Every structure is written in structure tokens, then in C-alpha cells.
Amino acid sequence: MRHLTGAVLDSDSNAVTRELLRLGVLDFVSLQEMSPDWRNELDPVYPGEEQRQVAKLRERIETFFAILDAHPATLVDFFPEDEGYAGSVDEAERRLDKVASAIQRVREEQKAISQELNRTKELQRHLDGGGDSLVKQPHRFLSVRYGLPSSGREEEFRAALGKFPCVYLDSGLLMTLKRDETGIAPLLERFGWREIPAPVREEHAPGLADAEIEKKTRELEAKNDELEKKAREIVEGKKDELLSLWKGLRIRELSETVRGFFGKTARTFIFAGWVPASHEKELDGALRRVTDNRCHLEWLDPFSHKDGQLPKQIPVIMNNPKWLRPFEKLVTNYAIPAYGTVDPTIFVAVFYCVMFGLMFGDVGHGLVVFLIGLLGRLKAKKAGKQEHFLFPLFRWCGGSAMVAGALFGSWFGMELFPPLWFDYHGIISGHSVEGGVQSISDILLITIYFGIVVIGFGLLLNFYNRIVKHDWVSLLFDKGGLLGGWLYAAGTWCAFYFVRHDYRQLPDNSFLALFIGLPALLMIVKPVIEWRHAHRGERFGLMTVAYLLMEWLVELLEVFSGYLSNTLSFMRVAGLGIAHVSLVIAFFQIADMAAGSGGYTIWSYIILLLGNVLIIGLEGLSAGIQSLRLNYYEFFSKYFDGTGRAYAPVSLKH
């Protein structure tokens, strides 16, 4: 990253704004935050009311596109030569109002249909309730009559009936609700209603009314579908115009955002921000070109800072290849690593997959997880969407479980092929097993070795981070520094020595004094240096000595108990692996119990199927979570400085 502070003339500010937006590589820094002295020197250029109005108009267009289940950003490309919307906000608002009212008119038509449907449904309800008994024993809520309005007034009559729930057939059947009698009676009088004799087969009336209601309902629903389509067509019809307006408004809005970071003097504008080193020349050249070199640009390499300390809040770009993105997501879900420190994504990828495989080692189960990941990918591809980051993670984890399954000889819990490493199932079920790994203790030991490797690697990364940050005190005297590493290595050696000697003998005293006592004693240096730094010129008093001793003791306790528990924590990898195998064995035993004398029955197969589904769901989830937990709390805690912030330039793409 490079830090840029630029000063340009007032007359060039528009061109500079456009260029900054076009390149979209500057992650702006608030000038006031950068240097509090500037607070008095510079006037801010706050985004005005107009910018808020522009944002509102842009959002309005987005709501129109929501009718099409689309977002303008996915339908339009930005080009460097595009200009922001130059018209007035009022004019844009008028254009959008026209579209909004056209849609609103459609909604009103839909509302009328909805209300009519409601009326029709009510009649249907009463008709259903009355059923076939309508004629012999008329439904108490319905009124049925036969007649015709004055000749030539049929259409008008039908329209006047509209506000009442009713059925009126050409044959003269008029079915209304009794509660509307007081409204219907004057209507009949007004239209010269003449009663006509009921047809001979009057009992057909309910069926006719029912058929009419169904027909009407279908027509209304079809009409409503048409209207929904019409609302979409309105937006479709205006699509190009709206997209162009949206693009213009968005560019204008972003330009205002850029200007919001400017500080103003009488005739100049000042701005500052971070740019990836690879874009330094490009941005420098572009700004000089558009200002005819009438600008002052000051570039700073953060590592060349005068006191050797990195400035705060340098944005971070995590440049991992695409195949590592799901693991990068796991890292950023925890925090963004501080600028200059190690991006642990690749290590997380390796450790996560190894842990998952050790906990969930089975070729068949791994294959299912892998296929779920593949299915997610195909589904997303079919829908034209980007797949969720969990699906590639599924594929990685599934692959890792398959490799581990081959090493342990486990294929859906069966030993179809001999294990390449050791027989996990044989060990758990107590069969005699050959090779270097023969018991559960051996499995636990493997995971402890694995834990030591992970923690040791974490410490190495911490050494690197401390060197990069020039944090020499922590590098030397911190519990995660060289002294801490020394203690961890010596402690681990002592622990293995103790175990090798049947838990009866520790290494000799000179070893303990040199490798445990000395670094433990030296750890007091850190609190002393920190105290001196915070209390320059002060002398040590009795209380200070007591305080420093207390801090040293607490630190030592943390080192011994912390490292021990962190290492033993990796035994959960074996624990989960053992649970996985045990569950498989248990389901096979249940299937055996359900088997008849002639071998497996259908129940045995159902038990195995459901058992495997349960194992994949339950154990897969456990293994995934525990791997994450070990990465976050045992690995990250050794070196990870998550105080970084993600690089977020103002650009057309963001």
C-alpha cells in the first residue's frame, strides 16, 4: 500500500473527482482523522442535501427493477467515459413519478379486482354452505330471483350490481346476499326489473351460479395476472431510460461521495487515501495529466515511517487465488489481519482440511459431502448466481475426508480395501492391529503431535509478524515470542521425557534451570520495559515491584497452563474421529441385530442408510465446527493480529 496526500486547484477538482472515480483505487482517509491540526485549517466539503436526494432517486429506480426481480447494478456496465446525471433532481423526480404513477394505476386496477374477488369468494362461501338445498330450503344469507332489467339496459344494470356480491346470468337468475336487499331493491326499481317465471328445473340454479362464480374467478385471476404482467411491461418499456438514469445518478452520487472526503482551503482541495502499490504510477500519472501537472502529490511508503512504526488503519487486500476464497472467508469471518502481518489463509486451508479429514475419515461419507458441494455449484450455475462459499468448502472437506478414509481403510464404515496407514475401525473395535498405530493412545498421540506442529507453526508466524511490525520487545520477551517459544519447546520436551520414563522422572536439574527456569525468569523483562515506557522518569517503588512481580507471575501461569491446554485441546481431533468410527460401528451392530437368519433384512439396510445419513449430518457438522474452533482459538491466538480493515476504495464497482 502507498499513502497519497494530494492537493489540487479548485478549478481542477471536478476533473480530479472524475479521475479518482474512474480509476476507483483510492481508499479515502478522513483528513481530520489523519491530522487533527488540519481541522482548523481546512473546511470540509460535506455531501449536501442534493446527494441525499440523488441517492433516494437511485433507490427509487431500484424498487422499479425489483418488480422484474432484478437490480440495475447487474444489468448495466460502467465505462470510464460515462458522465454523471447532469439534469436537475426535480426533472429526474418527474420522470420517475411518471413511471410510479403508471405502476400505481395498475395497482389500483389490481385492487379493484382483488376486491371483486373477495366479493365473489364470499358468495362462493355461502353457496358452498347452502349447497344443493338452495332451492328447496334457500340458504338463509342468499336471495335468489329471476327477472330482467328494461330492454337495452343490461350492461348498465350489470355495472350497477358491481359493488354487491352477486351472480347475474343471462337466463335472468340473480343471486345476491340478503343483507344487501336494501341496496338491491332500489336498483331493481331503477332499472325496471321485471320478474320472470323460474325455469322448470330450478334446482339447477346453485350449479349454474357455482359455475358462473368459478368462471368469474378464473377471469378475474387471469385479468390480475395480465395486470401483474403489465406492471412488469411498464418497467421493461422504460428499462433503457431507467438504467441510463440509474447509471447517471449512481455516478453522480459516487462523485459526491469522493468530494465528501475533500478538505477545502480558499483555492485548493486536499484529499488523502491509500492505494495499492501496483496502482501508484497509474494514479499519479492520471492525476498529473488531468490537472496539467498543477497538483502536488505526496506518496508515502508505510514501511518508511520515521519512527519505524506502521501508521494505523492501513487497508488490507487479501490476494488469495480463487481456490482459496472459501478459506479466506473463514479468516475474514474472524477478523481482517493487520496490514503487513501474515495472511494465514493458506495455512488455515491446510490445517482445516487435515483436521476435518482426521475427524471425519471415510471415503463414502467424504464422497457424499463432496457431492453436496458439487450439487451446490451446479445449482448456482443453473440459476446464474454465484455459489455460496460453503459449497467449495464442502468439496475441500469431502476430498480431505476421502483421502483420510483411504488412509484408514474406511468406505462407508466398511473395510473394502486395506488401510494405507492404520486401521481406525480395528483399533476402536479392539481387534489386533499391526503397524505403528495400534491403540487409542497412539491415535491421541498423533493428534498431540499435530497440535504441537500447529502451535509451533503459529509461534513461527508470530515471530515473523513481530519482526515486520518492529515490535522487538514482544518478539523477544512475550509469551508468544522467542522466550515463549523456548519455554514451549522445553516444556514439550520435558513432558515427553516424563512420559517416556513412566511418569516418574523429569530431565536433570541443569536442563530444567537452563531451559525452563532461565526463560521464565527473563520474562519479567517485558513488564519492566513496558512500565518504564509508560512511566518515564519515575522511580521504582515497592508497589511497582509488587505489581511487576504479579504481572510476571500471571504471565507465567498463562504460559504454562495456556500452552498445556492448547496442546491437549487437539485431542478433540482424536475424540471426534473416535466418535465417528464408534457411531459407524454402532449402526452396523444395530443392523446385525435386525438381520434375520438368512442375512441382512430390509430393516438392516434402512438402519444403515439412516445411520449413515445421521453420521454425515451430525459428525460432518461437529468436525466442521471443531476444525474452525481449533483454527480460531489454538492457532490464531498464537500470532493473529486482527486489527486490520479491508481495502474499500470508492469506485464504480463497489
Partner 1 sequence: MTAPVRQYGFINAKLRTRLNKLFDEATLEKLRQAPSLAEAIQLLKDTPYRQEVSVYESTGDLKEVEAALWRREIATVAELRRYLQGTLLSLLDGLLLRYEVDIVRNSVRLWFDAHLKRRSIGGEAGYLYQEALVNPFSIDEVVNAEDFDALLEAFKLTPYGQLLEENRQDIESRAHLFRFETDLDRFFYRQLIESVDKLEAADKRIALRLIAVEVDLRNVDRIARLAFFYPPEKRSQWHIIIPGGSFSGQLLDSAVSVRKGEDAVATLLNGHYPGLDSFTSSSSEDSLGMVEGLLRQIRREETMKLLRGYPFTVGIILAYVFLKRKEIGTVVSLLNAHYYGVSPDRMGDGL
Binding site for partner 1 (CB under 8 A): 56, 59-60, 62-64, 66-67, 100, 103-104, 106-111, 113-122, 125-126, 129, 140-141, 163-165, 177-180, 182-183, 224, 227-228, 231
517 Cβ contact partners less than 8 Å away, ≥ 6 residues apart: none
The CB-of-275 to partner 1 minimum distance in angstroms stands at: 33
Closer CB to partner 1, 69 or 77, in the complex: 69
The CB-of-296 to partner 1 minimum distance in angstroms stands at: 41
The CB-of-638 to partner 1 minimum distance in angstroms stands at: 34
Strand 315-316, strand 645-646: pairing: parallel
Distance between alpha carbon 175 and the CA centroid of its chain, in Å?
57
- What's the Cα-to-Cα distance from 530 to each of 71, 308, 512, 525, rounded to whole Å? 54, 18, 28, 9
User: What is residue 323's three-state secondary structure?
Assistant: helix
The CB-of-129 to partner 1 minimum distance in angstroms stands at: 8
Place of cell 347475474: 168
The CB-of-98 to partner 1 minimum distance in angstroms stands at: 13
Place of cell 504481572: 551
User: What is residue 380's three-state secondary structure?
Assistant: helix
Closer CB to partner 1, 227 or 482, in the complex: 227
556 Cβ contact partners less than 8 Å away, ≥ 6 residues apart: 520, 523
Strand partners, 148: 194
The CB-of-126 to partner 1 minimum distance in angstroms stands at: 7
The CB-of-134 to partner 1 minimum distance in angstroms stands at: 15
Place of cell 483411504: 406
Closer CB to partner 1, 100 or 524, in the complex: 100
Closer CB to partner 1, 129 or 308, in the complex: 129
- What's the Cα-to-Cα distance from 256 to each of 29, 73, 260, rounded to whole Å? 15, 19, 6
Closer CB to partner 1, 165 or 357, in the complex: 165
The CB-of-110 to partner 1 minimum distance in angstroms stands at: 3
Closer CB to partner 1, 88 or 265, in the complex: 88
- What's the Cα-to-Cα distance from 313 to each of 38, 40, 339, 575, 637, rounded to whole Å? 18, 23, 8, 41, 21
Q: Which residue type sits at 513?
A: A
Task: Please give the Cα distance from 516 to 494 (Å, whole number).
Answer: 9
Closer CB to partner 1, 66 or 646, in the complex: 66
Q: Angle, to 10 degrees, between the axis of helix 363-383 and the axis of helix 602-629?
A: 80
H or E segment to which residue 112 belongs: helix 89-130
Closer CB to partner 1, 25 or 103, in the complex: 103
The CB-of-232 to partner 1 minimum distance in angstroms stands at: 10
Closer CB to partner 1, 119 or 388, in the complex: 119
Task: Please give the Cα distance from 224 to 227 (Å, whole number).
Answer: 5
Q: Which residue type sits at 290?
A: V
Task: Please give the Cα distance from 557 to 527 (Å, whole number).
Answer: 15
Task: Please give the Cα distance from 306 to 326 (Å, whole number).
Answer: 38
Closer CB to partner 1, 220 or 390, in the complex: 220
Place of cell 521425557: 497
The CB-of-123 to partner 1 minimum distance in angstroms stands at: 8
